[in-house]
Amino acid sequence: MRLRHDPTARERLLAYPFSYEKETVTPGAWQNHFPQNQPLHAEFGSGKGQFITTLAARHPENNYIAVELHAEVLLKVAQKIEEQGLTNVVCLLANLMEVDRLFAPDELSRIYLNFSDPWPKKRHAKRRLTHETMIQHYQWILAPEGEIHIKTDNQDFFEFTLNQLATCDMKLQNITLDLHRNTPEGMELVMTEYEEKFVAKGQPIFRCEARQRTSDSK
Ligand SMILES: C[S@@+](CC[C@H](N)C(=O)[O-])C[C@H]1O[C@@H](n2cnc3c(N)ncnc32)[C@H](O)[C@@H]1O
């Protein structure tokens, strides 16, 4: 997601007391940024933050981090957090290609990847947030039994992702090829901004969950 470049966006974003960037965070110390020590969930590539702020409002028993590359976009998340008076969600302006420098081993309980850029050209496969190399980083920072929840509109990206998760020996569950017509029983549905657009056009949403098998490899 891109918004028009705004040279003041980073400064305005970081003026919020709940906004951080790589230089102002210490891996392993994320709980210090919340009033309560509780399970930590992050959305990687949060866009404007409808999904993560809705979850944070519904689930005060978790802490949330919106991670996003573009300050102009993350500013929208910060505005939602302030408007809703949420205290269990913070913003991190960062490039996820450096994810291993942002979090410590076992620090996250769940990672959400919603409508990640598919990078359709084969030569750009390493830029996909579900490339094997990235999943290995996620396995490192996820707690034992930690999960990755993935949604996308792009079937090729979804099939690539399932293969990469399997290569990394993650346990796959709750796979659906059409989330809104075939919702797994009991699943909580919270839509992202991108998802609303695709659903309005009648496009199927692909979704899966991947779980850590053990923490033996850490
Ligand atoms: C297609 S949008 C989806 C946004 C949101 N998750 C949704 O579903 O509405 C993908 C988002 O991921 C962000 N993104 C892409 N690559 C990233 C990276 N390497 N690090 C951090 N954010 C990234 C983009 O800036 C964009 O906002």
**Residue 69 CB coordination number (10 Å):** 17
Q: Catalytic residue among 6, 100, 106, 117, which?
A: 117
Cα separations in angstroms, 119 against 123, 158, 160: 9, 12, 11
Question: Candidates 20, 44, 53, 69: which one to mutate for ligand 1, based on the most atoms within 8 Å of Cβ?
Answer: 69
Q: Among this protein's residues, is 117 annotated catalytic?
A: yes
Ligand 1 centroid from CA 74, angstroms:
10
Q: Spell out the per-residue pLDDT of the chain, length 218, in tens.
A: 667 888 899 999 999 999 999 999 999 999 999 999 999 999 999 999 999 999 999 999 999 999 999 999 999 999 999 999 999 999 999 999 999 999 999 999 999 999 999 999 999 999 999 999 999 999 999 999 999 999 999 999 999 999 999 999 999 999 999 999 999 889 999 999 999 999 999 999 999 999 998 655 44
Ligand 1 centroid from CA 114, angstroms:
8
**CATH code at 9-211:** 3.40.50.150
